[in-house]
Structures are given as C-alpha cells and as structure tokens.
Structure 1
Amino acid sequence: MSTSILYRRFSCCNVKVTGGEDNFTYCPATGLAKGNERSEFAGWAFPFPGVFLTEEFISKDEESEIVELMDRDDWKPSQSGRKKQDYGPKVNFKKQRLKAGSFTGLPSFSKKIVAQMKACSVLGGFLPVEQCNLDYMPERGSAIDPHFDDWWLWGERLVSLNLLSKTVLSMSCESEDSIQLFPTFSKENGELSPPGSLTQTSACKNSGEEGINCVLSPRLVPSREVTVAIHLPRRSLVVLYGDARYKWKHAIYRKHIEHRRICVTFRELSAEFSAGGTQEELGKELLEIALSFQGRPV
C-alpha cells in the first residue's frame, strides 16, 4: 500500500499548540508536519506520510446512540486510568497464540460504521476482526504511553473513531535516522518564513544573494528530537498506516484529555492470517465471527 499523503475534508493548517512535548503539528491539508511557532522548528516542515483524517465521520445523533449502547455494557478497568470493552479473539501475544475463545463478533452498532468506511479511499478491502473501545476521563488521569500496535496479528491499517471530545495523538520516533526539514513559505508575500532561521549554503553566502533567490541547505535533525501532534476533532476518523504505523509510536497524554473521551479502534488481520497466509483458515474463521455483528464484550 502506498504511503502517500491522503487528505479529505480539511482545509486549515493554522492550529497553534502552546507548550508540551510536541514540537510539530500535522497539517491534514498538506500532509506536512509543520514546526510549532514556539518551538525551535518554527518555519520548518517535513512530509509525514501514512495518515488519513476525516472530520464528522458520524453525526451527533449517531454518536449519542453509539455511546448509549456502549454504556449498557460494563467497562472493565484497564491501564493508565482507562476503561475498556473488547470485541475480539483470545490472544497471547508473547507466545503468539490465537483462538476464538468467547469471541462472538463485533457489536451490532458497528455494522453501519464499518459500512461507512468503504467511502474512505485508504480503507478498500478493510475487514475488521477486532474492536476495542477505550474510555478516557481526566478525573482518572487517563492516558496511553507511546507504543506500536502488534505487527504479528494486526495488519497495516489502524482505524480509530474519536468520540465525545477532541484530543491529540502524539507521534514519536526512536529511529537513529535523521529527518530532513525544509523551510515553509508564506503564501501572502512569497517569502521564506522565518528568514532569520534559515541556513545558507556556502555558495549562497559567497554570492551575496538573499531571500528566496538563495539556495538553502537542508536542515537535518535526529528523529528522536521530533514529536508530531495530530489533532483529532470530536467524531473524526483517523487511519494510521505505512510509516505512521510502523516507524512512529503513538500516544495520548493526560493533558490532552479535557473531558470524557471514547476511542473506538478497529484492527484488521496481518498477512499471516489473510488469503495465502500460513494461518489463512483461522483468519477466515475469526472474520466470519467478527462480521456477524452479534457480539458482546469479551
């Protein structure tokens, strides 16, 4: 699957972040991670592939109905102040063992959500085999540490529906590689912004040229020094794939949980459990259960 940037129903990149660990903000309109104004990277940007983000994926009435149905079932305590409801097979990730267990399928209310996903260009052929509902509350200090979702069982695309309140998905990278930044331009006057932060090549300095006529050298920064904020509006749907799935860890910090928030995450099977994989038959069995949409939390 291509890791090209995809954009839908966003037109604004002027989100301002005040403080915090994140020093770049993802812009859905351009697919760029842009340096925050109060960081040392103001005026710099780099491509951030592997994110698809769409606002108002469901309506307010649909959101209310979904949350009401969720709250009819028990929420089990989870880590870091979260509560959860799981709809999925029984898994031992350490021993890489998998069986249906008490899994009875995804919940009935998810059938419409999954059907609506077909309209998203990056979700062609997406067949969710697992659904996890996570309940975040500021009073509980709810958060989730930077992590990768498992690669053995779960496939490339991670799909999350953000309910009840806005939040920020914080992306971080532990790679030893460097990221090449380029200066951003002001649309109003066509000038580089901010001019004082740019690095000139030696040839440019010797020529005496200035401004946009001057060739600029790339700015390299260690990946470990970069954190990217992806702003998730209420009722938005986000898909992580490619680099955003396999190279960058994702997290939700406590400071970004201002009100109750529910995250509904759908996961697909990896190649090992899909057509042609070594465990194709088990994958078929689990998908048949999942897509019956008759499930209760396990």
Structure 2
Amino acid sequence: MSHCGCKGIRTCLVCEKEERQNETETKCSRKIHSFCDLCNMAYEGGTADDHPNHHGNTLEFPGIFIRRDFISSEEESDILEHIYKSPFVESQSGRRKQDYGPKVNFKRKKIKSDVFTGLPDFSRVLYDRMKSTDILKDFEPVEQCNLEYLPERGSSIDPHFDDFWLWGERLVTLNLGSDTILCMTSSDYPDISVHIPLFRNSLIVVYGPARHAWMHGIHRCDITEKRLAITYRELSAEFQPGGEKEQVGQNLLDIALTFDGVSVGSLKVS
C-alpha cells in the first residue's frame, strides 16, 4: 500500500517505487523563457541572474510581482518552527500540506465553514506587512495553505489554474526553505514555458494575465532541497461586497482574520 497522497494519474517517488516502477516525470519540450523580476520581462535562455545583460528573444509577461527578502532569515526560522508544531497531511504528487480554510466542494460549489478556525497566529505579522505593499494594500486573505516539497519524495505540482469561482484575482505565496522555479504554460503559446524564479524568503503575487491565461506548476527536477510554500488566497467578486454571496464571504473573512486558526489536519488528529 502506498504511503502517499497520490490519486489517479498523479505520482511521486514513494508510489513509483512501491507500485508504479515505470512512471517518470514528463519533461518539458518547450522553449524556456526566464522571467527577470528586475525588468519584468521574460528572456529565452539564461536566468534572472543575468540582469542587466540579458540575451535572446523577449516576451512581455505581465502579472508577476516579486518582493525579494520579504522576510529575514531569523523570521523564516521562527515561522518554520511554528509550522512544524502542527501535523501535516499527505497531499498529491509527493507533497504534504496544512490547510487553514473552509471545506470546499468546487464541483458542486458548496462551502462549509464549520472546520475553519481562522488563519494561524504567526500570519498576522505577514498580513500586516503584505498590506504595506501597494499591490496588496486591499488584499484580504481567507485561506492559507502550507505545502511542503521534498526532493526525496519527488514532490511537484502539475500545471493548473487555481479555482476562479471562489478564489479571486491575486494568488500570494511566501517561499521558504530553498529557491525553486514556478513554470508557467499557456495554450496561447504552445511552444513556450516561462520560468519564474522563486527566491528563498521572497513573496510572489500572481495576478492578471499570469493568473487567468497561464497555468502554473512546479517540476520535480526543480525541487533540490526542502521547500515550504505558504499560499494565501482572496475571494472572488461573487463573495465580495456587492456580490451575490457577499454574506458568505464576509463570514469567511471574519473567521480568517481572528488569527486563531488551527490547521484542518490538527483538528482531525485531535
């Protein structure tokens, strides 16, 4: 029996060794354009470290904001200490997760808030700091997901769009533990992938075209050390003031910003 959370076609190194010896990660055959956060352009070949001496074809790539060194190394240590006091649950593709948010059935568009106790207390400082950034001054997170990636488990995440019915314009992630790459692909550019650098202790905001027209994923080969991603999501317009489900949204926000949250996995364990 597999000791992982993989289902369907998704696999990790754990289940591949135990059950699916022939499974391997699909390699990307697209032309790689690397995004430079210092000039907000993607360049074919090279890396963000080449700035300002970029070469190759360029691609405009709006919808990415990166704040390097959003937290200090000392703050990272404190946050990770808080996170690892709570249990993780197995997730797909070799990841482990902690959820702070409502239980959602996206297919049926149903939300249950009875297991939602709010965002964790350590996120209050991060929330205040995010609000001091222009692009996030009106950002109101109602869900937090902590995802652990380990190279020995072959952790990855397939290219995907985050849900549009419940989750709003901006996806915000704090990247801890190590550097990695967010790979963006789009049916509008079938021969191109854009690699977004995720620097250790940096904050990334995905919005606009990068949110709506490009899928994002992380390849197994780009996880070389333990990585912990903290992702915050806001509500869509339907759940905002004036929307059809405004009251539902306000209830979720009231719970989220108590900062008294316990992860769903902790509730199950207790």
TM-score (norm 2): 0.83
The 8 Å contact of residues 34 and 46 in structure 2, kept in 1 or not, is answered as no
Q: Would you say 1:291 and 2:257 are equivalent positions? A: yes
- The one-letter amino acid paired with 1:240 is V
Instruction: In structure 2, give the amino acid aligned to 1:146.
Output: P
Secondary structure class of the residue paired with 1:224: strand
In 2, Cα distance between the equivalents of 1:71 and 1:160? 18
Please list, as runs of the form range in 1=range in 2, the aligned pairs for 1:272-287 lying within 5 A after superposition. Answer: 272-287=238-253
Structure 1 partner of 2:81: 68
CA deviation after TM superposition for structure 1 residue 20, in Å: 7.5
- Paired residue for 1:168? 181
Aligned to 1:113: 126
Counterpart secondary structure, 2:79: helix
Tell me the distance in 2 between the aligned counterparts of 1:63 and 1:21. Answer: 34
2:36 paired with 1:27: yes
Q: What amino acid is aligned across from residue 142 of structure 2 in structure 1?
A: V
Q: Partners of 1:270 and 1:145 in 2: how far apart?
A: 23
In the other structure, the counterpart of 1:150 is 163
Determine the structure 1 residue equivalent to 2:209: 243
Q: Aligned AA for 1:86? A: D
Supply the distance in 2 between the matched residues of 1:85 and 1:43 (Cα, whole angstroms): 41
Tell whether 2:268 aligns with 1:259. Answer: no
Other structure's SS at 1:283 match: helix
Contact 1:24 1:229 in 2 (8 A): yes
For residue 85 of structure 1, the aligned residue among 90, 98, 104 is 98
Q: Distance in 2 between matches of 1:268 and 1:86?
A: 15
Whether 1:122 and 2:135 are equivalent positions in the alignment is yes
Q: TM-score, normalised by structure 1?
A: 0.75
> Could you tell me how far apart the structure 1 residues matched to 2:135 and 2:74 are?
26
Greater length-normalized contact order (CA 8 Å, ≥ 6 residues apart): 1
Q: Is the 8 A contact 1:106 1:131 kept in 2?
A: yes
Please tell me whether the aligned partners of residues 22 and 229 of structure 1 are also in contact (alpha carbons under 8 angstroms): no
Structure 2 unmatched runs, 5+? 1-27, 48-54, 265-270
User: Which digits, 9 at most, give the CA deviation of each residue in 1:204-236, with x for residues without a partner?
Assistant: xxxxxxxxxxxxxxxxxxx11110001111000
Q: What does residue range 195-210 of structure 1 map to in structure 2 within 5 Å? A: none
CA contact (8 A) 2:118 2:262 kept: yes
Q: Which residue of 1 aligns with 2:52?
A: none
Q: Structure 1 residues 72, 21: CA separation in 2 closer, same or farther (over 3 Å shift)?
A: farther
Please give the secondary structure, in 2, of the residue aligned with 1:80.
Answer: helix
Query: What is aligned with 1:215?
Result: none
Are residues 1:96 and 2:62 paired? Answer: no
Question: How far off is 1:99 after superposition?
Answer: 2.2
Indicate whether 1:137 and 2:150 are aligned.
yes
Matches within 5 A, 1:3-82: 23-36=32-45, 43-82=56-95
Aligned to 1:206: none
Shift of 1:21: 5.2
Separation in structure 2 between the aligned mates of residue 20 and residue 229 of structure 1, nearest angstrom: 13
User: How far does residue 124 in structure 1 lie from its aligned partner after superposition?
Assistant: 2.0
Counterpart in the other structure of 1:227? 193
SS at 1:277's partner residue?
coil
Q: Using the alignment, how far apart are the partners of 1:53 and 1:80 within structure 2? A: 26
Would the alpha carbon gap of residues 20 and 167 (structure 1) be closer, same or farther in structure 2, given more than 3 Å must change?
farther
Q: Distance in 2 between matches of 1:56 and 1:140?
A: 27
One-letter code aligned to 1:23: I
Name the SS of the counterpart of 1:235 in structure 2: coil
After TM superposition, give the deviation of residue 118 of structure 1 in Å: 1.5
Deviation at 1:22, TM superposition (A): 5.5
CA displacement, residues 93-130 of structure 1 (integer Å, 9 cap, x when unaligned) = 00011121210000000000010002222112100000
The count of residues paired between Structure 1 and Structure 2 equals: 230
Quick check: 2:31–2:44 contact (8 Å CA) kept in 1? Answer: no
Percent of pairs identical after alignment? 50
Give the drift of 1:31.
Answer: 1.1
